[in-house]
Amino acid sequence: MRTPSQAFEKLNQWIKPGWRTAFCAAVCTGLLVHLPVMLSDIPNHDGLSSIYFDQNMITSGRWFLTVACGFSSYYTIPWLIGLLGLFFLGLAAAALTELLEMERSWAIVLCSGLLAAFPAMASTFAYVFTLDGYMFALFLAVLAVLLTKKYRFGFLGGAVCLAFSLGTYQAYLSFAMILSLFAVWMLWAGGAKAADKVKGTLSYLGMGALGVTLYYGILQILLRVQGKELDSYQGISGMASGAAAGEGGRLAGALGLLKEMYRDFFTFTFHGRVLFQNWISLAAVLLLVFSASVLAVSVARQRKGWKNPWFFAIMIGMALLLPLTANVILLISPGVTYHLLMRYQWVLFLIGLTAFVSKNSGQARWGALWEWLTLGAAFVLVFFYGVVDNIGYSNLHKRYEKTYAYCVRLLDRIEQTQGYYQGIPIAMVGVVSDDEYPVTDITLPVTGGMIGLSSESSSDSLLYTGENYREFIRHYLGATLNILPAEAMADMYYSEEYIAMDSFPGPDSMRVIDGILYIKTEDAVRR
């Protein structure tokens, strides 16, 4: 048996320098960019009800999330969860470096930096109570493709990794699919025999099919054991409902879905205000695309790849499949509402371009020039994304401060209302009046698409439901309110009496009627 020192020495010898560089670059960039939110307690609207949450999300198909998030306990401890999340992100960066065969240190550092700074990562940090689990799922998604590439029967281990990744967060299926396409492209662009290329391609397909089947099988078993059913949230309950339609309906539905997947891909890419938001970031993206494109043409001419019809078939096939793999979640759940943290896979396009230039620049004319252009463009994007992330964190912090000030005033008024007593039933609508409290957020041009960091309604607060009020006042003001479910407003909402009430902080914004304290926070109801 080895001593601890011998074991660590052996481990150090096994770890490649590129892996170490990727891990350190991802963790250090993550700390530089995301440290403000790791050292703060600035919840978003979902975080208010997740101060302690066991993450049992099996009804959303996430049967492994409760285990993946268990490393940090189920309490929201941002610095601990953040460190664990960055640890798993560093492992994913190291696996990505090996998968894409990156050897140039500058490319490894910048690709890891892109992975850590991309705005989807900031949106994930906004839901910090699940961050460590999600980053573990990301690592498993990358590892699934890497195992398939490196070992003869690696697709079996890859399928297991993919199943557990999906069981933690299904959105990273796109990550694994895009990386599989990259791996297939590298396989067919190499000098392997045709039979080996076909066999390798089938191994990625087998990994995906087995992984999804294993995920769904475990999900069904655990649902039966726990006596639960899939929730309707984000259309997850319709995962296997496509077979119910007739042949004509399925064909029309499939064509419509394909059209929507392509439309959404290009809409988000060019109008999503994430890949670029100003002329500097746009220029960096265009420069990255230009450098990789010119280099690709140069390498193809040198290798005489243009004489091989397979070259064009693979290039066209890749171009057609990439938008579909990026939006594969629409196949699983056609009614999904995309959040930015579900679009993390877009960073792979930038990483893929950077990795391609670093790997092939030595084989082309003016290779050093393309490397410098790519290095500059990728560095600008890492810096730009870091700035955007921190604008989002600043916005979230200000929303918390505004919510705190609002709830202090609200709680004081509640306790001063005639007829109030501790435990009185309270009925209210969650939104805050935008007539009484006009929006003061100046970051919307930047943070408008960053869910979790921006306002999801017309107000600047974290409050959208009565439950949000209850949890915020309970955890941050130390008072317990007996706020009724939203259904309690059903009979009162359209009554003349409620319509005539003022919106808070108006003098007649609270009334006790039939033993229930009604609070009107929204704008006046108009029929």
Task: Please choose, from the candidates 209, 271, 210, 241, the residue with its C-alpha nearest in 3D space to the C-alpha of residue 331.
Answer: 241
At 245 the pLDDT is 44
For residue 505, whether the previous peptide bond is cis, meaning omega lies within 30 degrees of 0, is: yes
At 414-428, the pLDDT tens digits run 999 999 999 999 998
- Give percent helix, percent strand, percent coil of the chain, each to the nearest 5: 70, 5, 30
At 386-398, the pLDDT tens digits run 999 999 999 899 9
Q: How far apart are CA 221 and CA 53, in angstroms?
A: 23
Angle at which helices 105-117 and 17-38 pack, to 10 degrees? 30
At 524 the pLDDT is 63
Tell me whether strands 516-519 and 425-428 are parallel, antiparallel or unpaired: parallel
At 35 the pLDDT is 95
Task: Please choose, from the candidates 234, 260, 265, the residue with its C-alpha nearest in 3D space to the C-alpha of residue 333.
Answer: 234
Helix or strand holding residue 519 (H, E): strand 516-519
CA 267 to chain centre: 18
Alpha helices in 303-366 (DSSP H): 309-326, 329-332, 347-360
pTM above 0.75, yes or no: yes
Phi, psi for residue 516 in degrees, rounded to 5: -115, 135
At 25 the pLDDT is 97
Q: How far apart are CA 255 and CA 348, in angstroms?
A: 26
At 228 the pLDDT is 87
Which regions of the chain are under pLDDT 50? 240, 242-246, 526-527
Q: How far apart are CA 378 and CA 71, in angstroms?
A: 33
Q: How far apart are CA 149 and CA 138, in angstroms?
A: 17
Rg of the chain on CA atoms, in Å? 26
Report CA torsion sign: 318, 323, 326, 330.
negative
